A and B are shown apart, each in its own frame.
Chain A
Amino acid sequence: MPSRIGVYVCHCGTNIAGRVDSAGVARHAAGLKNVAVARDYKFMCSDPGQDMIIKDIREMGLTRVVVASCSPRLHEKTFQKACQRGGLNPFLFQMTCIREHCSWVVVDPAEATAKAKSLVAGAVSRVNEHEELYSRVEAVHPDVLVVGGGIAGIQAALDIARSGHKVHLVERGPSIGGHMTQFDKTFPTLDCAACISTPKMVAVSQEPNINLMTMSEVVEVKGYVGNYTARIRTRPRYIDQNRCTGCGLCMEKCPKSVPSEFEEGIGQRKAIHRNSPQSVPNTPIIDPASCIYLVKGKCGSCQKNCPSQAIDFTQEESYLDVRAGTIVLATGFDILDPTALSQYGFGRYPEVYTGLQFERLNNAVGPTGGKIVMKNGQAPESVAIVHCVGSRDKNHHEYCSRVCCMYALKYDHLIKDKIGHHARVYNFYIDMRCFGKGYEEFYRRVQDEGVIFIRGRPSEVTDQTQGPEEAGKLIVVAEDTLLGRPVRVAVDMVVLCTAMQPRSNAAEVARIFGISQGQDGFFLEEHPKLGPVSTATDGIFLAGTCQGPKDIPDAVAHASGGAGQALSLAARGEVSISPTVSWINPDICIGCKMCVGLCAYSAIEYDERRRVCVINEAMCKGCGSCAGHCPSGAAQVRHFNEKQVFAELEGLFAPAQPVRQPVASSAT
């Protein structure tokens, strides 16, 4: 029986109809083979638009539906559901995009209309070949995997755990807390960072529903939404966490000192160390690269001094597989290494610091005990703060890092507060971006403290003096773009507000979890506005700065969003899995086994008895690698099979036929 197709051409207000003659396209469609009705309407996605489809299916006995409107990535599901409500299998539907790919990008109305007609003809021809398909319902494993234990990962883990679901929290470093634990104060309220983060960190360690794994990374992920299995590698701490009481005696006795990563290189740590006394867990770790015992086989001072016999040099790397229904990624950010911007002299002049180093200078448990002092122990009389280092800069990162203006203001205040009102502070900025709640107020407050703002990006920081008053100072050379004249400012200390950038291992993490990175390198969200926490991979969500630069309030809110989405799947307990996977027709398959090696998901097996290959539908992702290659044409992707693609191509190029029947126009 020939199909009875209903075609619906949207105006999208004027978004489509402003360029494409939607009514004309509908008239054209009405003349296409098997089309029973073709209509155009202002907003197909609106309730009346959808009701129109439902009514036609019921009253006119449509067996296929085509909608020409926006991108199927936006509304395919909407219309599939409408078909379903009308009693039609949702896969007997095809959508074609005449907005993003047509009305918005083709200038000439006649050309745009012609293109739309051709696209609609392709869709109509294709939909003839569509088959009924049924989604599979699978159980969702109730546990959630959270990767990264910065403030975002902590928030997500706590939200989920408190709902009663179990969380596996995997942190690469020795302690959770992330960058926030490096700060002293946080803008704009100037709360002490430790005072607000420590309770959350402790809550994680005390939460029975959280299985915290530090020194750990996910090395492999298998499965699909609802049913992931992650392989976790844990590096040895060389200390038995169950015995260690966190007394810290070992660290006092360890003879080996090296520059500390946590102190951003401006402080020292021992071979056996921990970031801070507030670390969670507070068990130290031994760094195998600097430990004398682990390198040379002698010393063992920590072992001799440990009152609880917790040191264990025999610990080895271990692996654990955990199952989870959903995954939240919260792997955070790195800061840009400003050595590349050699004009600012980082690494060359000892008094040029990064923002994170300056945080450590301010931190009460940092290398200076919280005093802002230069390498010579003296407090600086004048400090220059350079904004946007590597941000908003075509040569490095085009984006704005969103926190630098604000932490610069925080530094302004801290310098005035700690060193005294006489200390001169110069901000070199491009624009002040103080957009958050309470931020503009904070900006005003700092301005009133007598801080100097110079609008202009410095061209260099130099020690080449031009007069006795500059002697022994660093000179920041810039153009004051408000006054339109060059300036030279001699200061004792320079702080560079370096850009936030994707983690150095972001590409690796993206590969392991099967998600994408955006142009800027941060993980790509499903939709920039409406799907900022989900990813294109079902069941994997983002939290915090791994998705893009954020301040703490935004990172926490984002993380709660990610947790909420993971929970909504976990709470529902089941998920419907798309039936658009591949199938090998056993009557055609010649058993060449070509597809077996091509499948990246090991979903194909050779059936010795029947001498054909068989696809495990639960493992198949529907990528079509097998179908694209199968020499006999036995392997086909459902909903993307050969007949369907051929039919679409035929439709795209079919010559226009004279209109057989009048269009039923519903345009208002």
Chain B
Amino acid sequence: MEELNIAPQTQSEPVPGAAFEPAIVAFVCNWCTYTAADLAGTSRMVQSPNVRLVRMMCTGMVDPKYIIKALLGGADAVLISGCHPGDCHYINGNYKARRRVKLLMEILPRFGIDGRRIKLTWVGASEGNEFAATVNRFAAEIKELGPIDTRRLPLL
């Protein structure tokens, strides 16, 4: 098996003259936010094309390593989204995710990553409109923030 090296950045390379199109990874749980994304699609709610969904069974399985890997591997931002508090299909996985993301947000700035590049939201299965709005809002925020420059991170 090939070693898991970090792929070179492509999407977020600033092309002179072209508007910055961020690449965003969204780790979403199967039961709520992924379902909401399906509903947003079925209802043809236009979304910015910058977000790539990675389907997880629950936000509780989103290892902080995955978030860091995404940021170092080409994503300008990471969205983690699951069921509303109390609604997690696995009782309380989302509370665990919340704790973990909070810790991560405290640590990442020390390595030069802006905390605004990580967002945790709750989007329930029936909230297609909320999903589309979240995606569009986040994409706009990251466009504003500009590309991540991992080469200049003290971490590397």
**Interface residue ranges, A against B (CB under 8 Å):** 71-73, 97, 99-102, 104-108, 111-112, 114-115, 118-119, 122, 507, 510-511, 514, 516-520, 524, 536-537, 580, 598, 600-601, 621-625, 627-629, 637, 640, 642-643, 645-650, 652-655
Contacts and interface: CB of A to CB of B under 8 A. Distances in A.
Contacts of A627: 61, 63
A517 B61 CA distance: 23
Contact of B73 (A624, A629, A650): A650
User: Interface centre among B32, B34, B60, B89, by most A CB within 10 Å?
Assistant: B60
Given A119-B52, A629-B100, A646-B4, 12 more contacts: A72-B55, A101-B37, A108-B49, A122-B52, A517-B87, A624-B93, A625-B58, A628-B60, A640-B61, A643-B4, A645-B63, A653-B11
Interface string B71-98: 0011100000001001101111100110
Interface of B: 4, 6-11, 23, 25, 30-32, 34-35, 37-38, 40-42, 44-47, 49, 52-58, 60-63, 65-66, 69-70, 73-75, 83, 86-87, 89-93, 96-97, 100, 124-127, 132
Nearest to B37: A101
User: Interface centre among B40, B47, B57, B73, by most A CB within 10 Å?
Assistant: B57
User: Interface centre among A119, A519, A624, by most B CB within 10 Å?
Assistant: A624
Contacts of B44: 104-105
A637 B60 CA distance: 11
A524 B41 contact: no
Contacts of B56: 624, 640, 645
A514 B89 contact: yes
A600 B90 contact: yes
A-B pairs, top 5 by smallest CB distance, nearest first, are A624-B61, A100-B41, A653-B74, A623-B90, A625-B60
Given A625-B61, A625-B90, A106 B35 contact: no
Nearest to A72: B55
A33 to B, nearest CB: 9
Contacts of B46: 105-107
Contacts of A654: 7, 10
Given A71-B38, A511-B86, A642 B65 contact: yes
Contact of A655 (B10, B30, B65, B132): B10
Contacts of B38: 71, 73, 97, 100-101
A628 B86 contact: no
User: Interface centre among B10, B45, B63, B97, by most A CB within 10 Å?
Assistant: B63
B89 A112 contact: no
Given A649-B69, A652-B52, A653-B10, A624 B57 contact: yes
A522 B15 CA distance: 50
Contact of A628 (B4, B25, B55, B61): B61
Contacts of B47: 105-106
A654 B73 CA distance: 9
